[in-house]
Amino acid sequence: MKKILLLTVVAFAALCGNAQQALWGGSQIVSPEINPDNTVTFRLVAPKAVKVELTGDFIPTQKIKTQYGEFDAPGVAQMVEKDGVWQYTTPAPLAPELYSYTMLVDGLKINDPSNVYRIRDVKSVTDVFIIPGDRADLYSIKDVPHGTVSKVWYNSPTLGMNRRLTVYTPAGYETSGKRYPVFYLLHGMGGDENAWTELGRASQILDNLIAQGKAEPMIVVMTNGNAALEAAPGESSLGFTAPSMNLPKTMEGSFETHFPDVVNFIDKNYRTVKNKKSRAIAGLSMGGFHSLHISKNNPDMFDYVGLFSAAIDPGKDVKSPIYADGDKKLKVQFDKKPALYWIGIGNTDFLYQANKAYRQKLDDNGYKYTYYETPEGHIWKNWRIYLTEFVPLLFKK
């Protein structure tokens, strides 16, 4: 009887595999396969396809002309069929990095059916893999003490709603009895409270930097910067709505106005050090914009500020008091000498000129800041780099 049951389980599992294979044309192929020399092979079984292509951030971009001008568009590589399997191997080893890709089957964009590791970025779901080594080792899960990542709801009296955020507490937080500094880390347009842990590998970066003794143990708070929303798509009472780049109440002052509610909530619910020199704020793109304006409007709240590929100025028609008297507020902020004011941007970023102008303003006024320039543009690769550079500088004074 016992043996029969076990066999039934095995048979059932085998059947599921076989039935699936027979019905859905799947096969036990490996894709992507990271070869010993760090070239990568991609595979797809699509017997009736005429043309299969691969697109990914490791394939050289191509110039396209649009009504807005000439731009770099994602590159495309041809996959070649052999023995019923479409295949592509990168011509050269890939450098250590977190890469993303999708496939194009006769023009239809699909995720790699052999890869379950996917990340959503606004509306796009791409397949991902990591080439380990160098800085990318910070993006990998290592056998080191791990912090806790929590999805937490807070009430905002200012916005009159319950909202969701992601909190990283460092390894040992639960039992140490200690108080910790807090780093508020903000996402960009179209993002949400999941962006920094999913696309940004924030919890891996923090775990690894802390384990290596390169960063102070700290709490990291990742908010949702879309003030009209409770939470990320699919995580609120709105249900499974389509993600959007065009959300209301993102860069018009509401999020910045409500931000002290977040700080109050965190200070009330976590063992924090409740002072300026134990608080940092940084963000990417729209989140850099938020960080700039929140820190300027609350000059006694944050001693560390990071602008990652930040948008700088609000739209001309935006009338929130948050953006009024900007230069005066900036003077107040810098008169108090922030411990760190950090600006990072890629040299092909579409916000590069705006950042250059902003740096000029800081220079003209003698406001001290740290500047970090990278190649490439407005991409997660750069934001992960900026995070690994910024975090070791925090709370060292």
Scanning residues 102 to 131, which ones bind a second copy (CB under 8 A)?
A: 102, 104-111, 113, 115-118, 120, 123-125, 128-130
DSSP codes, 118-180: EEEETTEEEEEEEE-SGGGGGGS--SS---EEEEEEEEETTTTEEEEEEEEE-TTHHHH---B
CB of 303 to a second copy, least distance (A): 26
Binders of a second copy among residues 270 to 299 (CB under 8 A) are none
Contacts of 57 (CB under 8 A, 6+ apart): 74, 99, 100, 101, 379, 381
Q: Is 150 in the site for a second copy (CB under 8 A)?
A: yes
Cα dihedral 303→309→313→319 (10° resolution): -80
**Quick one: 146 or 384, whose CB is closer to a second copy?**
146
Q: Is 152 in the site for a second copy (CB under 8 A)?
A: yes
CB of 348 to a second copy, least distance (A): 13
Q: How far apart are CA 220 and CA 381, in angstroms?
A: 20
Q: Is 142 in the site for a second copy (CB under 8 A)?
A: yes
Query: Residue 271 burial (CB < 10 Å; 0-12/13-18/19+)?
Result: middle
Cα dihedral 165→166→172→174 (10° resolution): 40
Binders of a second copy among residues 67 to 96 (CB under 8 A) are 68, 71, 73-74, 76
CB of 339 to a second copy, least distance (A): 29
Instruction: By CB under 8 A, name the one of 237, 335, 364, 366 that touches a second copy.
Output: 237
Binders of a second copy among residues 40 to 59 (CB under 8 A) are 44-50, 55
Choose the stretch contacting a second copy; rule: CB under 8 A; options: 215-223, 242-250, 295-303, 366-374.
242-250
Residue 327, phi then psi, degrees to nearest 5? -65, -35
Q: Which amino acid is at 382?
A: N
**Quick one: 90 or 194, whose CB is closer to a second copy?**
194
Binding mask 8-47 for a second copy (x = CB under 8 A): xx-xxxxxxxxxx--xxxx---x-------------xxxx
